[in-house]
Amino acid sequence: MSHIRKIAVFTSGGDSPGMNAAIRAVVRTCAYLQVDCIGIFRGYQGMIEGDFMPMDARSVNNIINKGGTMLKSARSDEFRTKAGRKKAYEQLQANEIDAFVVIGGDGSFTGAIKFSEEYHVPFIGIPGTIDNDIWGTQLTVGYLTALNTVVDAIDKIRDTASSHHRLFFVEVMGRDVGHIALNTGIGAGAEEILIPEEDLGLERLLDSLKRSKARGKSSSIVVVAEGDRTTGKNVYELKEYVEENLPIYDVRVCVLGHMQRGGSPSCTDRVIASRMGVKAVEWLLEGRTNFMTGINENIIIATPISEAIKGKTKLDKELIRISDILTV
Ligand code: F6P
């Protein structure tokens, strides 16, 4: 018999499509197992301020298909302070909350670890970020939807690029890693892909663009990960550099930005989020704490959060190899 009678759930950091499906799964699993559930608005900031709402199975009607997060999200500076975490603990105590599920990325998990070191409140993390940059899971909630959103956007850019015989630099999100760039670059048929994990080099980029002209390609798309520092230039500087060194190209820049985080989650994201939400509650009731739900070979696995925040899921080097072949 578990001593946990009330579980809180919240989303923290950058939102991602599928967070609502994860919230729904946590709330409904609590209802199914007859444990009280509290939603916390605005992540850790809401925890500090006591911005709580009791939730039952009906509180999460009609959200599985919605992007964003019904509980809102925030990055809280106050929670980084000892005083902020003390206030948060007092709010949990006052509301008789025994454990929590945090849906977010590595920053949110780091906060949870710090908090549990000080106050020993059991928690489970669900990886929710479009970046897919968390160790211990092959997929984070929202990543696959973001890939589709980006490919859809690049397909549209391709229409105009080919109509005007232009070269586009398309910057995509991903923070410090190139998962989104590499996969969407292949999926959208980009000429080149610039990612932090692989130094293409400016010379090779120019050579490749020259070659593609010589091979009769009239337009090109280069996907650039926002975290790429390998060329020492941002997308706007790359545009200038290419225009100076390869005047044959008429270059444009498109920074996709936050549209990548929005939209209705894909079916797979909804299923992953649902599976993780159920496990998070089951694990808490089994007495597990400080773990992250992950998915590996289609099985839900548990990784200690302390390990999850240390590493990053590695890029598949085979994808880098095939992207070189396919731009021939
Ligand atoms: O972590 C998700 C993410 O969208 C990153 O890809 C991006 O670098 C960052 O969040 C943007 O953060 P913000 O919404 O605070 O501008």
**Can you give the chain as a three-state secondary structure string?**
CCCCCEEEEEECCCCCCCHHHHHHHHHHHHHHCCCEEEEECCHHHHHHHCCEEEECHHHHCCCCCCCCCCCCCCCCCHHHCHHHHHHHHHHHHHCCCCEEEEEECHHHHHHHHHHHHHHCCCEEEEEECCCCCCCCCCCCECHHHHHHHHHHHHHHHHHHHHHHCCEEEEEECCCCCCHHHHHHHHHCCCCEEEECCECCCHHHHHHHHHHHHHCCCCCEEEEEECCCCCCCCCHHHHHHHHHHHCCCCCEEEEECHHHHHCCCCCHHHHHHHHHHHHHHHHHHHHCCCCEEEEEECCEEEEEEHHHHCCCCCCCCHHHHHHHHHHCC
Give dist(CA 313, CA 294) in Å, integer. Answer: 11
pLDDT of residue 277: 99
- Supply the pTM of this predicted model: 0.97
pLDDT of residue 218: 83
Beta bridge partners of 170: 223, 254
pLDDT of residue 122: 98
pLDDT of residue 1: 72
| Set 36, 106, 131, 269: catalytic member | 131
Q: Is the CB of 108 under 6 A from ligand 1?
A: no
Tell me if residue 131 is catalytic: yes
Q: Is the CB of 127 under 6 A from ligand 1?
A: no
The predicted-structure confidence for 6-40, as pLDDT tens digits, reads as follows 999 999 999 999 999 999 999 999 999 999 999 99
CA of 174 to the centre of ligand 1 (A): 8
Q: Considering only CA atoms, which residue is closest to atom 14 of ligand 1?
A: 14
Task: Looking at the CA of residue 174, tell me the nearest atom of ligand 1.
Answer: 6
pLDDT of residue 17: 98
Give every residue of the chain whose pLDDT is below 50, as ranges: none
Task: Looking at the CA of residue 180, tell me the nearest atom of ligand 1.
Answer: 6
pLDDT of residue 170: 98
Counting every residue written for the chain, the total comes to: 328
Q: Are the beta carbons of 6 and 36 closer than 8 angstroms?
A: yes
Give residue 304's Cα distance to chain centre.
19
Give residue 195's Cα distance to chain centre.
17
Task: Looking at the CA of residue 261, tell me the nearest atom of ligand 1.
Answer: 4
